[in-house]
Structure 1
Amino acid sequence: MSTAPLVEISHVAKSYRRGVQIVPVLSDITLGIAEGDFVALMGPSGSGKSTLLNLIAGIDRPDSGELRIGGLDITRLPEAALADWRAAHVGFIFQFYNLMPVLTAFENVELPLILTRLTRAERRERVGLVLDMVNMVDRMSHYPFELSGGQQQRVAIARALITDPTLIVADEPTGDLDRASAADVLSLMQRLNRELGKTIIMVTHDAHAASLARAVVHLEKGELIDEQPR
């Protein structure tokens, strides 16, 4: 039986062009993340946390190195294949929810399924299940402006779950929430990890949020400086 990590990052580097200047963001990152893990990425602003998360999620590509998810080197996929892989295997949770304001909670969660082969009845059943999972069934007909920040993030989490992804990536998921709502969302994420076995990688500035993860990875100036399993 293979013991390879779900996420294998090997000597990854990334830089961006700012005018005529090349700005290095990540330098020689090597890291493994096991299936079913819950990892927090921490570091000061500009340390490369969100860039690393975007590379893992297939939103961006490294300048060099390999990035394998489930044994597949996603750095070698053509753009169309990478987009298909991302849609099928990655669930996204953002700081500001990224919900469509003209769609109800139900419709926002259903959106990733529209281009699948599922029938309308199958889509409705699946959406109902994930909304129940995040305790939002009674708000499924509400629009985002009718929901609190914590409720909007729950809808966003349901949307991330709807395709049953291999990996969930979260970029500051509690950054726009009050303390009580943040605790509620973090508790839900822990439950998804422990009860459903979802692999979660979370960028956070919040030491308390990071303490609820199973491992904490520290970045500084684009370099991996520390990894603390729990």
Structure 2
Amino acid sequence: MTTDVTHNPTHRPEPLVSIRHLAKSYRRGAQTVPVLSDITLDIAEGDFIALMGPSGSGKSTLLNLIAGIDRPDSGELRVAGVDIAGLPESSLADWRAAHVGFIFQFYNLMPVLTAYENVELPLMLTRLSRQERRERVEMVLRMVNLADRMDHYPSELSGGQQQRVAIARALITDPTLIVADEPTGDLDRTSATEILAMLQRLNAEAGKTIIMVTHDAHAAEAARSLVYLEKGELLPGPR
């Protein structure tokens, strides 16, 4: 006899990110340095997670593994049902381009390109027409309140405006997941507050799942959930 779980009130949907017994180490000369040890974690679709912990705790390493930038030594890592730890490198690059939007501390904008051109860049390898690309770029620039700055170069924008361009670039492919590594770390408090409010809106109104590494307790307060790492291990913390 089979049971239809869709009628089971206790059934919970599959997490967007499912991590089981993940481990990662790096070689430093002849020495193996463990970074993450036996990480097991679920992240629900639509959540906004802050990864916190002291320097060297493994926060950015865990973020890079989830984003498919790096590979674990062992364990299981599934995102939206895809075993990304088992994908070949070419397939992993395609998956990453289609499903992950990146926001970095130092923006990573091309200085010789305008805001419009920086946001358009991830679409250049797609089959979208020039008009389709323009419509999408203008839409996301409006979302981050930069439609009137699209022809400006990064050097002509404030730090907060540059980070909003980076957020627009992260959104341009309509990714499954947004990963942000210290997105407010290079901003003054006013600009940081504006960026955090924007991430909250993207989470609440656009339903984007966001994983944010931060050492700033003020930034972490913007998230819905907190995950603590210390010496490569998860610590219990408030949700």
Hey, what does 1:198 align to over in structure 2? 208
CA–CA distance in 2 between the matches of 1:55 and 1:146? 34
Aligned length: 229
Hey, what does 1:45 align to over in structure 2? 55
Q: Deviations over 1:6-48 (max 9, x none)?
A: 0001000000000001000000000000000000000000000
Are 2:139 and 1:156 equivalent residues in the alignment? Answer: no
Question: Cα distance, 1:227 vs. partner?
Answer: 3.8
**Large movers: runs of 4+ above 3 Å:** none
Contact 1:38–1:214 (Cα < 8 Å) also in 2: yes
Hey, what does 2:197 align to over in structure 1? 187
- Residue 104 (structure 2) aligned to one of 87, 94, 116: 94
Question: Cα distance, 1:211 vs. partner?
Answer: 1.0
1:44-193 matches, cutoff 5 A: 44-193=54-203
Contact 1:47–1:219 (Cα < 8 Å) also in 2: yes
Per the normalisation by structure 2, the TM-score is 0.95
Local SS of the residue matching 1:107: helix
- Residue 24 (structure 1) aligned to one of 27, 31, 34: 34
1:1-12 matches, cutoff 5 A: 1=6, 3-12=13-22
The residue identity in structure 2 corresponding to 1:158 is: A
How much is the aligned-residue C-alpha RMSD, in angstroms? Answer: 0.7
Question: Cα distance, 1:226 vs. partner?
Answer: 1.9
Stretches of structure 2 that go unaligned for 5 or more consecutive residues are 1-5, 7-11
Question: Cα distance, 1:212 vs. partner?
Answer: 1.2
Q: Deviations over 1:87-130 (max 9, x none)?
A: 00000000000000010000000000000010000000000000
Stretches of structure 1 that go unaligned for 5 or more consecutive residues are none
Question: Cα distance, 1:3 vs. partner?
Answer: 1.2
Q: Deviations over 1:139-177 (max 9, x none)?
A: 000000110000000000000000000000000000000
The sequence identity of aligned pairs, in percent, is 79
Question: Cα distance, 1:228 vs. partner?
Answer: 2.4
Local SS of the residue matching 1:101: coil
Q: Deviations over 1:169-217 (max 9, x none)?
A: 0000000000000000000000000000000000001101101100000
Local SS of the residue matching 1:228: coil
Contact 1:153–1:185 (Cα < 8 Å) also in 2: yes
CA–CA distance in 2 between the matches of 1:117 and 1:175? 35
Local SS of the residue matching 1:26: strand
The residue identity in structure 1 corresponding to 2:20 is: S
CA–CA distance in 1 between the matches of 2:72 and 2:142? 38
Contact 1:215–1:227 (Cα < 8 Å) also in 2: no
Local SS of the residue matching 2:117: helix
Per the normalisation by structure 1, the TM-score is 0.99
